[in-house]
Chains A and B, each alone.
Chain A
């Protein structure tokens, strides 16, 4: 009975103020939708990754290696370490993307994989662990003539089972039939720089014999206790006889790398959702306070007939409970659809997690928290009912008691005493009035600047992040010089000769200037035992790399990446002992720089290394008029073993996993930011204009035209919008940048001091203009209806 009274009251109230309530519900739906989607994406990601890990059993530690290796040393090492549960050495054959073509007999369609920059490794199925898994979760074992292609390629090149794959070897093409597609726990992430194709043992041997592929191995270990992976890695790296000419990865890193790239989208969704919840709460507070002021006489009457204040507050709360509940339901349902769309990629790359309780529990819990939080805030605002005094409410229609009324009158009197229209010699009197109103009623208008502040932050931060990661100048965070071209020479038997060829060709090329070669040399240093330290040895003169602290290394010095400096707890001027070929030397740290490449752990030394390096990188600038892309294409053709690409493309490809997430976040935030700005401005003005009816009636009677009255409202709106937007921009460029920088540095990417590289015209001109236009649009829509109103009706209140 009582409940139905509350419900009826809520229903009537909802119907009475449809416009305002709809706007509130929309903001609440958006908030709950994003919160539910973010939590569901996270849950599915974790579920999918776990599922794939269960099926594929990835290694707890792996070491990639190119070049000769000593199988006996690996066997000795395994025998000496009882913590190893199982181990294997996977042989692989790496083929360049351009060497792999496909065609579809059914349609005659064909193409190649040349657009892909990652390594293509042909392998056979493992026996004990690290399986490649097909789409059904089974462990496929291809017959001769069959190949299983990575799911990433299936999506990217739209490949189908039944297509033919032709691999160019030194002995002509080897033709294989695409039997299916495989997921790869180790290399699933878009962050991975390589991917694996599955072939039969016979085809693998045939490919090896035919030549053209680069042999590589991965030494893989499953440990009895996976948490000991870091200790195991140290033990492995301190054994000089073991192969380690490539990346070393632990189980934990595989997991983090997998979760990080796709998890960024989920984090962005939750971030946007939190800002929207803040906006929704501000609105609710504004609306509830407004309602209480409007209905103070009714509340007074209810108190007068003896209703306790809690019962009255419950009467009002019922409406907000219904609204929030509805919003959570609708938001949750929309989230189910959105999540299915968003997680298609995740499910294809990883695995479809079996239905579980957590898949339902996580979003329900997230929505439950949103509901409880919103209702708690509403309850807090409704506590104002308790303070309403019956007589003041009924007689004066005031929420204030006598002391508060007196204080307010005093404040008002003090203020009006200071203003004088008589001494005002500025322009329009109408403008002056708008300004005085805004000054006196700033507190009531504060919602607009706050909402626009939040909307600006919401729109600007993801866009600045995106532009920063997309900027060619981002190379300064990649420990590389700002140049136009990058040639990457990976380890091969004749790498030193290739380096010499490429370098001399480039140096003699008129189209290129400032050619610099850097060698990736493996040193060892004293951490917890001797550990591998990768240093890029080359010419750093001319301040080509930006240093966060200190300066470029002189001969006999070393510069460290932020993560290495943190790892070894070194700062500029400290000494570091390095070892190569059994010979130790102590060198001084000259500076610290930011680097996101190679997991963020790199070092730089001045000098020239022409032999014994694990790989080389050559940077060059294009001479005036030369097109870096054309030059890169030319060199790629002449030197197939070298990866030569324009710097811009290198940055884009290397960071595509992050920029993709940031782009989604930027687009989403832009749409939501502008939408919410229009919605809130409209909602605010609808309520505000209702409260200003009497004032507008007076102005009209005094001879102010509707045009002038509307201009006053629009002027105040624009000013509030502009102030909020301006503060938002300043915040985003200062504290916002630091906050994002903190988030990025916590993410362990290797950047500890991020400075935005914004698109200035977009962020500092277009965004504010769009937001101001959005606010103005809301004001235009809401004030337009004033023209047809009867002004005498305004005076009746």
Chain B
């Protein structure tokens, strides 16, 4: 197929139906969307609109019921589980609402895990990269701590480090600030904004208009359909308030 060099991720006529319910629930109902290279895209919508399902379908965590997903021109829906896992390991990073970590590993090992798995023969490079990430996000001093010994903000920053450990081309974040207080939210969003500024493509699901205002573009989902989208342009701290107000006005129009 022809491929637009600026598009990193693209979905075509994507649907997802859960057959475990009676009757089956169609959560996504034919979504066409694309994410540009280096773009910070936010997905918004009311609870149950299909935001998270869309995120997990385009990231290859779940198999869509029908339709296709292309990452850098490669059809993810045709890959085997092992191939898809490899794509997630080397090309994608994930940040969740709860900082899910393996509690039998310390913070540093949790971050190191995907890096060592992706390139077991380049362990020294991987270790150096992870240590640099720990320094950059200000959590090097808690690297040997257990996951119950650090704050929620530190843990979510560690999540970002882990998502970046394999230098992915795209980062998926599902409500990354949903479980944090306001100061920790700012801390995490600053970190994500930094990551985006350095060129990483970012797709984030959020309920929080203040967080969404940091995006380049926002799309809005209702009942499994993509109903509208809005370009916000590049974020700057000075214009933060105006962007947020404008976004809120648009969201109200959408019925948010």
- Chain A positions within 8 Å of B, measured between CB atoms, are 408-409, 412-413, 415-417, 419-422, 429-430, 433, 436-437, 439-441, 694-695, 697-708, 787, 790-793, 795
Contacts and interface: CB of A to CB of B under 8 A. Distances in A.
Majority-rule SS of B interface residues = helix
Contacts of A422: 108-109, 112, 123, 127
B82 to A, nearest CB: 5
Contact of B89 (A412, A413, A703, A787): A703
Contacts of A787: 81
Interface string B59-98: 0011100000000000000000110111111101010100
Given A412-B103, A695-B102, A705 B82 contact: yes
Contacts of B120: 429
Contacts of B100: 694, 697-698, 701, 795
B104 A420 contact: no
A796 to B, nearest CB: 9
B54 to A, nearest CB: 11
B84 to A, nearest CB: 8
Contacts of A413: 106, 145-146, 148-149
A409 B149 CA distance: 7
Given A429-B116, A703-B117, A419 B85 contact: no
Q: Which 8 A-B pairs have the closest CB atoms?
A: A703-B89, A413-B146, A792-B56, A705-B85, A416-B106, A409-B148, A440-B104, A701-B94
Given A413-B149, A703-B85, A791 B61 contact: yes
B81 A698 contact: no
A703 B88 contact: yes
B82 A707 contact: yes
B50 interface: no
B116 A417 contact: no
A413 to B, nearest CB: 4
9 contacts: A409-B149, A415-B146, A419-B109, A436-B104, A701-B100, A704-B117, A705-B85, A707-B81, A791-B61
A180 B147 CA distance: 84
B105 interface: yes
Given A417-B106, A429-B120, A792-B56, 16 more contacts: A412-B103, A413-B149, A417-B146, A420-B108, A421-B109, A421-B113, A421-B116, A422-B109, A699-B102, A701-B88, A702-B114, A703-B86, A708-B85, A790-B56, A791-B61, A793-B62
B39 to A, nearest CB: 21
Contacts of A441: 104
Contact of B105 (A421, A705, A708): A421
A420 B61 contact: no
A429 B144 contact: no
Nearest to B168: A703
Given A422-B108, A422-B127, A701-B88, A429 B117 contact: yes
Contacts of A791: 56, 61-62
Nearest to A435: B104
Contacts of B148: 408-409, 412-413
B93 to A, nearest CB: 9
| Residue of B89, B104, B118 with highest tally of chain A CB at under 10 A | B104
Contacts of A420: 106, 108-109
A415 B101 contact: no
A409 B147 CA distance: 9
Interface string B38-67: 000000000000001100100001110000
Nearest to B114: A702
Contacts of B109: 416, 419-422
Nearest to A695: B102
A365 B61 CA distance: 56
A792 B116 contact: no
Nearest to A797: B98
